[in-house]
Amino acid sequence: MSDHYAVIGNPISQTKSPLIHGWYARSCGQTMRYTALEGPLGRFAETVDAFRADGGRGLNVTVPFKMEACAYATTLSERARLAGAVNALKFEGDEVLGENFDGMGLVRDVTHNLGFALRGKRVLLLGAGGAVRGALLPFIHEQPASLTLANRTLSKAVTLAAEVASHATVNACSYEALAGQQFDLVFNATSASLRGELPPVPATAFAPGCLAYELAYGKGLTPFLRLAQASGAGYLADGVGMLAEQAAEAFAWWRGTRPDTQTVIAQLTVPLV
């Protein structure tokens, strides 16, 4: 019987993970089975227990279970601990290892696929939720010249910046305080684009030729990307590369070999029009 992996979430019908991991398994010559698992709300631990009892080897975790997965794990990576969220679990006997590959996937997409260095650059992250928490340590390790968090609720950004103060100085501010500042890379990690809305980032925040990155994927030219385009951003991207890269990190963690991501990215890319 082949090793069984799955993605757990609720809802889960929209997931691309079985498609992605199927491609990765074939390209790497790995014999494995990967399915989608809809976890009943309030029964995450029970559902995972049953998956493990049936021989499951690992799980990707998506909304709304990332924080529950963090609590379920017996051992957390530093990234997962800081994020307070887990997007991948690995089962080794009684031990449950928890990881968060979202930030690693994002950095890999930006630096390797898109060719934008973070080192020495002015970086702006919009939002202070789970996606930003997962990205902070990987971003800090790239040594940007400055790293700024902007959020509607300033206190959330301030709290998050304080949590990583031992690693680096992270600036926290309101959207209004961005006036007069410019950035080389701007990341929209808010949920605004999922609702077809624009986060209140000033047009002047986009330095000429900058990268504007929308963490949501498959939405085309979102209001955030339209604003960036009109403001002189040199390159626009959405989160499809991040999706493929974080999946590749989990696959490598589970199987010991890292797949090439380019075919997956090409297959899943939606034109930004």
Residues 75 and 169 in one domain: no
Residues 117 and 28 in one domain: no
* pLDDT tens digit at each of 273 positions of the chain: 689 999 999 999 989 999 999 999 999 999 999 999 999 999 999 999 999 999 999 999 998 999 999 999 999 999 999 888 999 999 999 999 999 999 999 999 999 999 999 999 999 999 998 889 889 999 999 999 999 999 999 999 999 999 999 999 999 999 999 999 999 999 999 988 888 899 999 999 999 999 999 999 988 999 999 999 999 999 999 999 999 999 999 999 999 999 999 999 999 998 988
Residues 119 and 228 in one domain: yes
Which amino acid is located at 167 in the chain? H
Residues 135 and 229 in one domain: yes
Residues 113 and 206 in one domain: yes
Q: Is residue 193 part of a domain?
A: yes
Rounded-to-integer distance, Cα 182 and Cα 202, Å: 10
The domain that holds 259 is classified in CATH as 3.40.50.10860
120's torsion region: left (phi>0), alpha (psi -120 to 50) or beta? Answer: left
90 is catalytic: no
Which range of residues forms the domain containing residue 203?
A: 103-238
Q: Is residue 201 part of a domain?
A: yes
The domain that holds 167 is classified in CATH as 3.40.50.720
**Counted domains in the chain:** 2
Q: Is residue 273 part of a domain?
A: no
Looking at 16, 66, 90, 121, which residue is catalytic?
66
Residues 159 and 227 in one domain: yes
Residues 170 and 183 in one domain: yes
| Tokens representing residue 23 in the block | 């491609």
Q: What are phi and psi of 235, to 5 degrees?
A: -150, 140
Residues 107 and 75 in one domain: no
Give the per-residue SS3 of the chain: CCEEEEEEECCCCCCCHHHHHHHHHHHHCCCEEEEEEECCCCCHHHHHHHHHHCCEEEEEECCCCHHHHHHHCCEECHHHHHHCCCCEEEEECCEEEEECCHHHHHHHHHHHHCCCCCCCCEEEEECCCHHHHHHHHHHHHCCCCEEEEECCCHHHHHHHHHHCCCCCCCEEECCHHHCCCCEEEEEECCCHHHHCCCCCCCHHHEEEEEEEEECCCCCCCCHHHHHHHHCCCCEEEECHHHHHHHHHHHHHHHHCCCCCCHHHHHHHCCCCC
Tokens 């794990």 sit on residue? 73
Q: Is the peptide bond before 200 cis (omega within 30 degrees of 0)?
A: no
Rounded-to-integer distance, Cα 213 and Cα 240, Å: 11
